Structure 1
Amino acid sequence: MRFLGKIILLTGALTLGPLPAFGQSFDKASQAYIKGDYAVAVEHLKTLSDLGYATAQFNLGTMYNDGLGVAQNYSEAVQWYSLAAEQGNALAQSNLGFMYQDGLGVAQNYNEAVQWYSLAAEQGNAPAQSNLGFMYYEGLGIPQNYSEAAQWYSRAAEQGHGSAHHQLGLMYYKGEGVSQNPVMAYMLNILAAAQGHEGGRNNRDIILKVLSREQVAEGQQLATEWRVGTPLPSFDDFSTWP
């Protein structure tokens, strides 16, 4: 239902600073990370982080969170995530929200978690969108609102987020915040199961037993045809329900 997006951007495109010095140092950090020289990667990331580069700060926070090249230290992770998050880095905002939600390296604070999840979710970060959906669903740090939960789960699900597929599937099965549709629930759990989500596999098999042969076929077809980045099926797309 929620997870810490441990995403290292060392091999991705730089998102900050066109300065050559930044690029060269970041490349060195990337090369060291790929080789498994985590301590060297941390050295380069610290230099860049001290200069205020948000991408480096996020990655340094992740190194501290995972204990790569340094002793695992959640408080240090929170410090670097915070600096990057305040500069608008969506990945850092998402991870910082998780740290506040679970009380890792910082006092547990659901209100803070919702704040950071919201900022990241508005930037399109799928883990944050899914986690924000979870907060709305459970009423943690924000009034419980199934409709809002379904909306955020949907946005994450459209990006291919497996946990969001699973959670949204449960909501469609129960009719919480959305019109009840077990065929849609089945389709979503097929998608979750395809990503290795255990809950998705279990729910897929449970829902299968209550559907007609025609409903099973339709759910499977819709799951096969759906593509990441496209809208989820609407009510009008179903011929076997209600």
Structure 2
Amino acid sequence: MMRRLLLSTAALFVSAQILMSAPALADYAAAEAALQAGNISAAVPLLAEEAKLGNPVAAFNLAKIYEDGAAGAPDFTQAATYYRIAAEIDTAPRYNGAALGAQAPQLIAAAQMYGQFSLGRLYETGKGVPQDYNEAVGWYTRAADLGNIKAMLKMAVIQREGLPGINPDLASSTAWLQRAAEAGSVPAMLELGRAYRSGIGVAPNAQEAAKWFEGAAAGGSLNAEFNLGELYRDGLGGQPDYVRAVEHFERGANGKDAPSMLALGDLYAAGQGLPQDKVQAHAWYSLAADQGAANGSAKAATLAQGMTQQELAAAIALHDNWQPKAKEAAIPAAAPSAPVAPAPASAATAPSPDLPPLFEESAPAPTLAPAAAKPPAETVLEPGTAAPLPTSTPPSFDPFAPADPFDPFAQPAPGAPQPGAKPFEPTQ
């Protein structure tokens, strides 16, 4: 707990040497020193003094201490009190930020928008404040308007699913996804692509769906590769393009994405986009079953009925010796694929930096306006390569299917999972 707290507060403080150069700021410097020494009990009263002066960074960190119970039992009432100080910095007497050094404007803005997000979470769950969904939505909206992508995604979830007294609004949900996607959120790009494909809150548009899936795939989303494969297989622009479908399914399949493995097996079995090959199809079905595909084993068994003993032996060997092999050439650009992920914001226009990863999305990349990540190397199934199955599982980029069923933005560490709105139930 102590290490998680220090990790979560480290980015909120500037150098102690800078702070100690001004004797009048000794309380804040002492608070920092106490936190870095792991002395939470000493840090709490010092942070409280700074919070009384309107220091939103101190208030935010003190709120996290109370919420996480780092100084004892969790105290959500105190957490709400100090989150409010951080959240309402724009309505309180202006804090001069001298104690925060040169980064004061960015740190104050970050503490404000995360204070607003956290206060919304407390109102949504009724912890430390009366449960009030409308109040929660108000705080989430304020945080989102300051550029908090987590708040944008939260609003997308609430508007998609609704809450007691708040009816679903699919158009509003998709609009929030659009804002988050345009700000660089890979999970939002993925879900926005699904919205355009299925017509959720917008008119169905396969070209727009492909564009956003391309952006998510460029950010590393295997699920986006699968969705792109489906679009091309089913006829993006009118006619099926099985060759491009194979390329995207291969990327997903060789990242151990079970639906992609299954789909690739189907194309091998039917000879669509590549030569018909029962051995390859059987191997991919079996690999899909290994990754949890419910019908992978059944498909393999059905196919096996029309295979020779030699073919079955080859399929089993192919499965047992599977190892991804990177191709040299990347997938060529698809017709509808304009770059989606925004370029990094300039220094003059860059939004306030995120606070530490307390509520990060389920992605390893930074949250605010990241550059598009380099796509993973495409790989293919090669027979005769004696190597074990990879043991690592690619990270999930879907915030609507988290490990914690209550919070689509939870991350195992640092910080404890936080309850939130009901997650999406994405369909493959």
Structure index of larger Rg: 2
- Judge conservation of contact 1:114–1:141 (CA < 8 Å) in 2: no
Provide the residue aligned with 2:283 in structure 1. 187
Q: Which residue among 160, 175, 184 is the counterpart of 1:88? A: 184
Task: Choose the corresponding residue for 2:246, options 143, 150, 158.
Answer: 150
Q: 1:74 to 1:227 in 2, by over 3 A?
A: farther
- With the length of structure 2 as denominator, give the TM-score of the two structures: 0.45
* 1:112 counterpart (204, 208, 213): 208
CA RMSD of superposed structures (Å): 3.5
- Change in CA separation of 1:65 and 1:192 when aligned onto 2, cut-off 3 Å: farther
Alignment pair present for 1:55 and 2:203: no
The Cα shift of 1:199 comes to 4.1
2:162 corresponding residue in structure 1:
67
**Counterpart Cα distance in 1 of 2:126 and 2:217:** 33
Alpha-carbon distance in structure 1 between the residues aligned to 2:245 and 2:284:
16
Question: For residues 38 and 92 of structure 1, what CA distance do their matches in structure 2 show?
Answer: 26
Aligned to 2:103: none
Q: What CA distance in whole angstroms lies between the structure 2 residues aligned with 1:190 and 1:21?
A: 51
After superposition, the Cα gap between the structure-2 partners of 1:187 and 1:106, relative to the gap in structure 1 and judged at 3 Å, is same
* 1:223, distance to aligned residue in structure 2 (A): 3.8
Gap regions ≥5 residues in structure 2:
1-7, 9-105, 325-375, 387-428
Q: How far 1:81 sits from its partner (Å)? A: 0.3
The structure-2 alpha-carbon separation of the partners of 1:30 and 1:133, relative to structure 1 and needing over 3 Å to count, comes to: farther
Q: 1:100 to 1:236 in 2, by over 3 A?
A: same
> Are the structure 2 counterparts of residues 104 and 24 from structure 1 closer, same or farther at C-alpha, using a change threshold of 3 Å?
same
1:160 to 220, 240, 256: 256
Answer yes or no: is the 8 Å Cα contact 1:38–1:68 preserved in 2.
no
Question: Deviations along 1:192-223, whole A, 9 cap, x unmatched?
Answer: 23444344343122112223345435534544
2:113–2:146 Cα contact (<8 Å) kept: no
Are residues 183 and 215 of structure 1, via their aligned partners in 2, closer, same or farther at CA, if it must alter by over 3 Å? same
Find the aligned partners of 2:384 and 2:243 in 1 and give their Cα distance. 19
Matches within 5 A, 1:209-220: 209-220=305-316
Counterpart in the other structure of 1:206:
302
1:117 match: secondary structure: helix
What secondary structure does 1:189 align onto? helix
How far residue 63 of structure 1 moved from its aligned partner, in angstroms, is 3.0
Query: What secondary structure does 2:237 align onto?
Result: coil
1:140 to 219, 236, 240: 236
Bigger drift between 191-200 and 143-152 goes to: 191-200
- Partner SS, residue 255 of structure 2: coil
Displacement of 1:129: 0.9
Deviation, 1:165, is: 1.1
Match of 2:381 in 1: 233
Provide the residue aligned with 1:46 in structure 2. Answer: 141
Contact kept in structure 1, 2:229 and 2:248, CA below 8 Å: yes
Cα distance in structure 2, aligned partners of 1:209 and 1:38: 59
Contact 2:141/2:151 (<8 A) preserved: yes
Q: Would the aligned equivalents of 1:187 and 1:219 in 2 still touch at CA under 8 Å?
A: yes
Percent identity over paired residues: 26
One-letter identity of the residue aligned with 2:148:
Y
Structure 1 CA distance for aligned equivalents of residues 239 and 384 of structure 2: 31
Aligned ranges 1:29-40 → 2 under 5 Å = 39=133
Higher helix content, 1 or 2? 1
1:201–1:34: structure 2 CA closer, same or farther, 3 Å change rule?
Answer: farther
Unaligned runs of 5+ in 1: 1-12
CA distance in 2, matches of 1:119, 1:93: 7
> Secondary structure of 2:251's match?
helix
Compare relative contact order (CA 8 Å, sep 6+) and give the higher one, 1 or 2: 2
User: Is the 2:323–2:385 Cα contact (8 Å) retained in structure 1?
Assistant: no
Query: CA offsets, 1:117-167, max 9 Å, x none?
Result: 111112221221111111111222375321111111111122222211111
- Tell which deviates more after alignment, 202-211 or 41-50: 41-50
Change (3 A) 1:73 1:195: farther
